[in-house]
Structure 1
C-alpha cells in the first residue's frame, strides 16, 4: 500500500520508547514509499551511547544536540526535495516541536504505542543493542504522548509488523488528506 506522491510528507519520524519497533516499522514505511531511512540512534554522540549502555538515562541537555543533528538531516533532505523516514524516540512535545521547526512544519510522526509488558519483553529479547531494558521505565516516565498534536498517526505495537506498517501508511495518507501536515 503506497502513499500517493502528492500526499506524502517530505519527512516522517517514527517515534516511541525503546523496543517499540521504530527501526523495523521505519525501514518498511520508507521502502514501501521509495524513501531513504535514517536510523536516528546512529546520530547519537558517542557519549550518549556510552551513558545509555551504562544504564544512565539521558537528560534534555544530552538529547538536544542529537535532535538538532536529526533536524539537520531532515532539512537537508527537504532542501534536496527528497523524502526521509527517521527513527527517533521524540519522547517530549518540546522535542517534536524542535523537529517540526527544523522541518519547516512539513513533518509527520508515527507514534508506536504499546504496553510496558510488551515493550519490556521486546527489549529483553533483542541482541546487541546498547539500550538496556533497565532504561524502559525512565523512557516511559519521560514520554509525553502526542495526543492531539497535528500530523501524528498512532499505531498499536501488538500486531504483526506488516499490519503495523500498513496502518502507519494508511494513517499518513489520511493525515495528509485532512491537512494534518504540509505535503511536499
Structure 2
C-alpha cells in the first residue's frame, strides 16, 4: 500500500505522514526531498513554481512510487499534488504496476480552510516555503473530484494530528 498525503503547504502532510508511518511501521518520504535546489531556492524567495518547474519533480516522485509498488513495499509519501494533472502524473502507470489493485495506492487530501492553515504556518519555523506563498497554493489548488477514485478527503480544521491519523486509519 502506498499512501500519498496531499494538500497545500501547512496542511500537516509531514507531521501526519510521520505519525502514520510510525503507526503502520512503514517508510515515510517527503516529496520536498525530490525538489531540485533551483525549485527550493525559488520557493524560499517567495516565487511560485510553474508547471514546468514541477514536471521533473512529479516525474521523480512517480518513479519512486512505481519502484515501491514493483518491489511490493509499502510507504507513505507527502506531496502537495495541487492540480488534477499533477495527481495524474504521480499515478501514471501505477494501476498497471499494481495489477489493477486500486487499493494499492491511495491519495489522502488533507483539506483545511485558508485561515486554519495560515495559523499553522505562522507557528512553523525552519521550512523553505514561506507563509506568503499560501495564497498562491490555494489559487492553484484543484480539489479532488468524484471521478478521482483513488482520492479520499479528510477534513483537518480543528483536529489534532492524532485525530487526523485515526480518521485516516479508519478509511484504510
Which residue of 2 is the match for residue 7 of structure 1?
none
Gap runs ≥5 in structure 2: 96-101
In the alignment, does 2:85 pair up with 1:86? Answer: no
Which residue of 1 is the match for residue 42 of structure 2?
51
In the alignment, does 2:6 pair up with 1:18? Answer: no
Gap runs ≥5 in structure 1: 1-9, 174-184
Measured on the aligned residues, the alpha-carbon RMSD in Å equals 1.1
Q: After the TM superposition, which of the residue ranges 27-36 and 12-21 deviates more from structure 2?
A: 27-36
Q: Look up the SS of the partner of 1:101 in the other structure.
A: coil
> Is this contact kept in 2: 1:153–1:168, CA < 8 A?
no
User: 93, 97, 103: which one pairs with 2:94?
Assistant: 103
Which residue of 1 is the match for residue 99 of structure 2?
none
Deviations 1:35-73 (A, max 9, x none): 100011011000000000000000100111101111111
Deviations 1:56-114 (A, max 9, x none): 00010011110111111111111111011100000000111111114236421110011
TM score, norm. by length of structure 1? 0.85
Aligned runs of 1:1-184 on 2, under 5 Å? 10-104=1-95, 106-148=104-146, 149-158=148-157, 159-171=159-171, 173=172
Inter-partner Cα distance in structure 1 for 2:60 and 2:68 = 13
Inter-partner Cα distance in structure 1 for 2:122 and 2:24 = 31
Inter-partner Cα distance in structure 1 for 2:73 and 2:163 = 26
Matched length: 163
Inter-partner Cα distance in structure 1 for 2:64 and 2:25 = 17
Q: Look up the SS of the partner of 2:3 in the other structure.
A: strand
How far is the alpha carbon of 1:33 from its aligned partner? 1.7
